[in-house]
Amino acid sequence: MSIEKMIRPEMPRWRQYWVLTKPRVTQLAVFCAIIGMFLATPGMVPWPVLIGGTMGIWLLAGAAFAVNCLIEQAVDSKMRRTAWRPSATGEITPFQIIIFSILLGATGMVILWVFTNPLTMWLTFATFVGYAVIYTWLLKPATPQNIVIGGLSGAMPPALGWVAVTNQLSAEAWLLVLIIFVWTPPHFWALALYRRDDYEQSGLPMLPVTHGEKFTLLNILLYTLILFAASLLPYVYGMSGLLYLLSAIILSGLFVYYAIELYRAYSDFLAKKLFRYSITYLSLIFAAILIDHYVSF
């Protein structure tokens, strides 16, 4: 029996394709896009735009992650964290992944064109290309700053939601993008630290592998400090009120606290704790700005 099958039992075919879309990551991205939709209007988002925009962005995000799995087949097969994926085990062939991705992406683009607007469709498609091709194929194997340079693609969902409602990009949308853009490096590098053996095995030039633990910890700390400042910008710009400001100070302050603790005395336990909190942080800070949008005082 293969190592992969010992790690995970055999999955039904539908679930194998579902796994290719990285559903947890997709859900977080779509959540941020939905927040962007509601922040773009003082009232409620029209149902066709909300449902169509959500489905279209979800499908194109899933297509991008499927292509990511295809490109990283060989890398994933070397890492215990990803060796069980159907793309890495060969249970789903490259041709099947390509067809699956084309179907998802094309359907998503049509839905966005019909229910939102062409700008949303093209921006979402550009995000697909940025993540699946520029980041995964070109940047990730080339530089330890891959997650920083390629982070813009992963940060775009709230802007996509904003454009779905307004048909234009504004400063408010870019402030939301900035928060995710600055959040991405400490989030991902915390994972890379406690999974560094996997990344050494894979051959990818991740920061903990190329520059060591201490340098990575310093960068995590610096980015969390920048994130603290970036999280206050919606209030400074007048986009949100005191409720969001207080939430951002508490949530970002706790992020900085965890980063300081990790920098002072590294352990895999603390790195996992920071990584898990970073996911909670992003969900809560976007939820806070949404609540503030409707009950601001």
Q: What pLDDT is attached to residue 89?
A: 87
d(CA 86, CA 94): 10
57 neighbors 184 (Cβ within 8 angstroms)? no
- In the DSSP assignment, the letter for residue 137 is I
Please report the pLDDT score of residue 9 as a whole number.
56
DSSP 42: S
Residue ranges of the chain assigned to CATH 1.10.357.140: 1-168
Element housing 201 (H / E): helix 196-202
pLDDT at res. 243: 95
Which residues belong to CATH 1.20.120 in the chain? 170-297
Amino acid at 194: Y
Q: Which amino acid is at 71?
A: I
Please tell me the predicted confidence (pLDDT) of residue 15: 87
Of residues 79, 25, 4, the one with CA closest to residue 188: 25
Number of Cβ within 10 Å of residue 265's Cβ equals 7
Task: Give the number of C-alpha atoms closer than 13 A to the C-alpha of residue 32, restricted to the C-beta side.
Answer: 28
Distance CA 139, CA 229 (A): 27
Options 1.20.120, 1.20.1260, 3.30.70, 2.60.40; CATH for 170-297 is 1.20.120
What pTM, to 2 d.p., does this model score?
0.90
Q: Cα separations (Å) of 160 from 66, 89, 295?
A: 20, 34, 24
Q: What residues of the chain score a pLDDT lower than 50?
A: 1-7, 297
Superfamily of domain 1-168: UbiA prenyltransferase (1.10.357.140)
How many secondary structure helices (H) and strands (E) does the chain include? 17, 0
According to the model, what pLDDT value does residue 118 have? 97
